[in-house]
Each structure stands twice: as structure tokens, then as C-alpha cells.
């Protein structure tokens, strides 16, 4: 399914992208441990085009012409499953709450399960429940969900270079299960020096969605008997997870100044935009604006 | 039920298209260098924006700063993240801090 010739033909562009990915190797080169949450056995090279593409070099260490310590990390489906584990508390608590809210809004267990399988989006499932119980029209629900979820365009584009050598069908299958959480884990964990990124991503995706479906069904079934998860601080699992992910990422990339400016301006843009706009639109525009700011700082410093 | 099915189909399509379209297009047509450069800043920006949304707002209003427990819980969470670089420890610290805040405040 993967096309080796395309990966080779586009080697120039891939190389261009790799220069933008210093996170691939710096830590290991200095003998520091990986940040927790990454595989301890992970080995990444220090950057040659030979490291690219499953098809181009199937085995670890193969086709390394200069005999340096460059090595390709072999990812697996089960590695993706394992890397999903730290996010599960977030899925369980939010999913359980989404199930409770769905049941309260009058959806039956089957309908809640179908929403988790086909819609599979936390905030959108809350909004569907709220709007359905308020008697909103189908069209207005669909339009609202579109605006809530259109930020996935950004996430999908940002991880697309990591999957570009795979077929469109495979990209469809990997992308359709993309969420904020799996995106966060994937950008921290994956680099162009790792093989079988498709299998790893599929393991991550399947684990995440399976737990999401189970959590929402549990909420739908048992919600009435179990007290509000908010009372146990569980609603903070999600922001805490993003804090962990973004800190890992910034510490790993070693471009503190620009990244901290981007983080700071994101908060500022969000706070200002939220004065006039719905929060899910403010999130998108704040992220777009801050990324432009980062690019500007990089250019003119 | 048929009402529900139409709604389900609609929301699933408008959610799936933004998820798959960029990945499929890039795998087919590649991506210009300037866009790749710009997209490098998107992951931290999106994640910080999502943190800001869940910490600073509740529904469609700001949580008043002087009664925002999230901001207080954010401090130990941030310290745990920088100190341990472990996702699981960070999440547990965040939940624990929030639990303590809700019991004591």
C-alpha cells in the first residue's frame, strides 16, 4: 500500500521537513533519558534522509550508508496501545460525563454508543445532547458541530507530514479517529526517524476510541447511580493532560524563547477573542494567530 | 429514530471531513515548505489554547479570576509536568490538586 518510489522522489521535501524537526534526536544524543511517556527503548538517529520511510529501509540500521550511530526506531501497534495509557483517565472521566449528559438529554444507550462510534468527539457530544434536549433543529445541530470540530483541520494538517508516505486510504483511516488527545500524544511521540508510524497510530487510535465508547456507555448505563465525577477532581484530567503534553513538547524542542512566546500569545489571543467569539472559534483563531506569531519571531529575531 | 439517524450522519460527516482532508491531501500532493514551517508552531498553540479554554472559561463565560480553582490547580500540575516530564504523574497531580481544592475550598 505504501509507495516507496514516491517516498524517494519526494525525499527533498521530506528532508526539508526534517530540518524543522530538531526534536527527533537531541535528547538521546546527549545521553539524557527520554521524557517519561516515551519509550525508553526508543532510538532515534541524528538526522539522515536514510532514516525516512518504512519502505525505504525496513529494518533497523539497514541502509545507513555512512555507518554512523543513526538508527531507525521500530514502532509497533502495541507501542501505540501502551502510549495511550496515560490519556485514559481523561477519556474515562469525560466519556463517562458525556454518557450521563446524553442519557439525561433523552438518548438511549444504543444512540449514545452510535454517537461515540461515528461522531467520536467529546465536546461535540456534549453539544449534541444539550441542543437536542433544547429541541434544536437537525441543521442547526450539524452546523454547530461543524464549527466546534473544524479545528481538526489544523491538527490533521500538522501531523500530515508524518504520514505522507502512506496511501490516501490509510490516511483516511488514521485521520478519521484523530482527536485532540491522540494528536497531542502523536506529535510528541512520532518523528520521521520512526518506522511503522501507521501501525503505532492505529494502536493509539483504537485504544483511545475503545475506551471512549466504553466510558460513554458506562455513563449512559450507570450515570444515575454514580455521583458527579466533577466532585472527585476528574474534570481536571483533560487540561492536566494537555499541560503534560505541551511541557514535554516545549522541553524537548529546545527552542524555548519562540515556543514560550507562542504559548503566551496563545493565551492572550484567546482571552481577547473570547470577549467577542464563541470559545471553540476563539481556540482556532488564537492557535492560528499564535502560530503566525511564532513564524514571525523565528524570521525576524 | 430516523430523525436521530439523519442527525448522526450529518454530525459525523462534518466532523470526519476536517479530520481526514488535510492528511489525505498531503499524502497525495505534498506540502509547501512555508506551510510546514508554520505548522510546527500549531501543536503547542492548539494545546495551550485548549488549556486556556478549559481553565479560564465555563460554558461561554470567563470564570472570575479570584474564584478560579483551575488556575490554582494549574500550578502544581505545571510543576509536576516540568519536574517529572511524565504524563501520568502530571494527570494524577492535576486530579489530586483539584480534589484537595474541592474538599478544602
Q: For position A38, what pLDDT does the model report?
A: 37
Q: Which candidate, A206, A35, A6, B13, places its Cα nearest to that of A198?
A: A206
Answer whether A153's CB lies under 8 Å from B21's CB: yes
Confidence check: pLDDT of A287 > 90: yes
User: Of A211-215, A218-222, A242-246, which one has max mean pLDDT?
Assistant: A211-215
Nearest Cα neighbor of A290 from B53, B47, B70, B59 is B47
Nearest to A124 by CA among A104, A146, A103: A146
Check residue A75 and give left, alpha or beta (phi > 0: left; psi -120 to 50: alpha): beta
* pLDDT interval class at B1 (50, 70, 90): low
Is pLDDT above 50 for A44?
A: no
Q: Test B7 with A132 for CB contact under 8 angstroms.
A: yes
When CB atoms are compared, the residue of A36, A150, A151 closest to B86 is A36
Whole domain around residue B9: which residue ranges? 1-30
- Specify whether the CB–CB gap between A291 and A227 falls below 8 A: no
Q: Is residue B103 part of a domain?
A: no
Instruction: Identify the residue with better confidence: B12 or A232.
Output: B12
The packing angle between helices A138-149 and B2-29, to 10°, is 30
For A235-265, write each residue's pLDDT tens digit.
Answer: 788 889 889 989 998 998 889 899 999 999 9
Q: What is d(CA B77, CA B71) in angstroms, rounded to the nearest whole number?
A: 10
Better-scored residue on pLDDT, A151 or A20: A151
Q: What is the ipTM of this complex?
A: 0.91
Give B6 to chain A, closest Cα distance, Å. 8
A281 grid coordinates: 472559534
β-strand B57-58 against B61-62: which pairing, if any?
antiparallel
pLDDT at A34 over 50: no
pLDDT-based confidence at A136, cuts 50/70/90? Answer: confident
pLDDT confidence of residue A163: 96
Whether A7 and chain B come into contact, CB under 8 Å, resolves to: no
Q: Which residues contact A42 (CB under 8 A, 6 or more apart)?
A: A28, A34, A73, A194
- For residue B16, tell me if it sits in a domain: yes
Shortest CA gap B46–chain A (Å): 5
> Which positions in chain B touch A107 (Cβ < 8 Å)?
4
Has residue B75 got a pLDDT over 50? yes
Instruction: Please determine, for residue A40, whether its predicted confidence score (pLDDT) is greater than 90.
Output: no
The pLDDT assigned to A168 comes to 95
* pTM of the shown model: 0.74
CB contact under 8 A, A270 and B85: no
User: CB–CB of B61/A279 below 8 Å?
Assistant: no
The mean-pLDDT minimum among A33-47, A181-195, A211-225 falls in: A33-47
Instruction: Please check the confidence at residue A187 and state whether its pLDDT lies above 60.
Output: yes
Tell me which residue of B73, B70, B68 sits closest to B96, measured CA to CA.
B73
**What would the mean pLDDT of A171-177 be, rounded to a whole number?**
97
pLDDT at A135: 83
User: Which set of grid coordinates corresponds to residue A47?
Assistant: 538526522
Average pLDDT over residues B18-40: 93
Give pLDDT, residue A173.
Answer: 97
Q: What is the reported pLDDT for A23? A: 39
Q: For residues A249 and B10, which has the higher predicted lDDT (pLDDT)?
A: B10
- pLDDT, residue A126, reads 87
User: For residue B5, is it within any domain?
Assistant: yes
User: pLDDT > 90: what percent of chain B?
Assistant: 72
Q: What are the phi and psi torsion angles at A258 (to 5°)?
A: -65, -45
List the grid coordinates of A285.
Answer: 483563531
Q: Nearest to residue B102, comparing CAs of B77, B74, B80, B70?
A: B70
What's the confidence (pLDDT) of residue B78? 97
Q: What is the pLDDT of residues A11-31, one digit of tens each?
A: 333 433 433 343 333 333 333
Match 466532523 to its residue by C-alpha cell: B15
Mean pLDDT of B13-36: 94
Mutation pick from A89, A169, A247 vs chain B, by most beta carbons of B within 10 Å, is A247
The b/e string for A206-219 (b: 16+ C-beta within 10 A; e otherwise) is ebbbebbbbbbbbb
For residue B39, give the nearest of A295, A147, A261, A78 by alpha carbon: A295
Q: Is the pLDDT of residue A72 over 90?
A: no
Q: State the Cα angle at A159 between A154 and A160, rounded to 5°.
A: 95
Work out the end-to-end distance of chain B between its first and last CA atoms, rounded to an integer number of angstroms: 45
DSSP A93-111: HHHHHHHHHHHHTT--HHH
Amino acid at each position: 500500500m505504501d509507495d516507496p518510489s514516491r517516498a524517494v522522489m519526494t525525499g527533498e521535501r521530506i528532508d526539508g521537513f526534517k530540518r524543522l524537526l530538531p526534536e527527533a534526536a537531541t535528547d538521546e544524543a546527549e545521553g539524557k533519558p527520554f521524557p517519561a511517556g516515551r519509550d525508553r527503548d526508543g532510538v532515534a538517529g541524528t538526522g539522515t534522509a536514510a532514516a525516512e520511510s518504512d519502505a525505504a529501509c525496513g529494518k533497523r540500521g539497514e541502509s545507513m550508508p555512512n555507518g554512523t550511530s543513526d538508527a531507525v526506531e521500530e514502532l509497533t501497534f502495541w507501542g501505540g496501545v501502551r502510549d495511550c495509557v496515560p490519556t485514559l483517565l481523561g477519556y474515562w472521566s469525560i466519556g463517562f460525563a458525556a454518557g450521563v449528559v446524553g442519557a439525561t438529554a433523552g438518548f438511549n444507550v444504543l444512540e449514545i454508543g452510535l454517537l461515540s462510534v461515528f461522531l467520536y468527539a467529546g465536546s461535540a457530544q456534549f453539544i449534541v445532547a444539550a441542543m437536542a434536549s433544547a429541541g434544536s433543529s437537525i441543521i442547526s445541530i450539524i452546523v454547530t458541530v461543524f464549527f466546534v470540530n473544524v479545528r481538526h483541520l489544523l491538527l490533521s494538517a500538522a501531523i500530515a507530514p508524518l504520514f505522507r508516505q502512506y496511501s490516501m486510504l490509510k490516511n483516511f483511516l488514521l485521520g478519521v479517529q484523530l482527536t485532540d488527545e491522540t494528536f497531542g500524544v502523536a506529535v510528541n511521540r512520532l518523528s520521521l526517524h520512526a518506522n511503522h508510524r501507521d501501525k503505532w497510530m492505529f494502536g493509539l487510535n483504537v485504544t483511545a476510541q475503545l475506551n471512549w465508547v466504553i466510558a460513554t456507555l458506562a455513563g449512559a448505563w450507570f450515570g444515575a447511580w454514580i455521583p458527579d465525577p466533577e466532585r472527585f477532581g476528574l474534570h481536571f484530567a483533560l487540561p492536566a493532560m494537555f499541560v503534560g503534553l505541551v511541557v514535554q513538547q516545549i522541553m524537548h524542542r529546545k527552542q524555548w524563547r519562540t515556543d514560550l512566546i507562542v504559548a503566551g500569545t496563545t493565551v492572550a489571543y484567546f482571552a481577547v477573542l473570547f470577549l467577542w467569539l464563541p470559545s471553540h472559534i476563539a481556540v482556532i483563531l488564537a492557535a492560528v494567530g499564535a502560530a503566525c506569531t511564532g513564524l514571525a519571531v523565528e524570521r525576524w529575531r | 429514530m430516523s430523525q436521530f439517524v439523519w442527525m448522526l450522519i450529518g454530525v459525523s460527516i462534518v466532523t470526519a471531513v476536517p479530520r481526514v482532508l488535510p492528511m489525505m491531501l498531503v499524502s497525495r500532493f505534498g506540502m509547501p515548505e512555508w506551510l510546514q514551517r508554520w505548522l510546527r508552531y500549531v501543536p503547542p498553540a492548539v494545546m495551550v489554547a485548549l488549556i486556556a479554554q478549559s481553565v479560564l472559561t465555563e460554558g461561554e463565560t470567563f470564570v472570575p479570576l479570584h474564584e478560579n480553582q483551575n488556575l490554582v490547580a494549574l500550578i502544581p500540575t505545571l510543576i509536576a509536568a516540568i519536574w517529572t516530564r511524565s504524563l501520568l504523574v502530571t494527570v494524577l497531580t492535576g486530579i489530586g490538586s483539584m480534589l484537595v481544592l474541592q474538599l478544602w475550598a
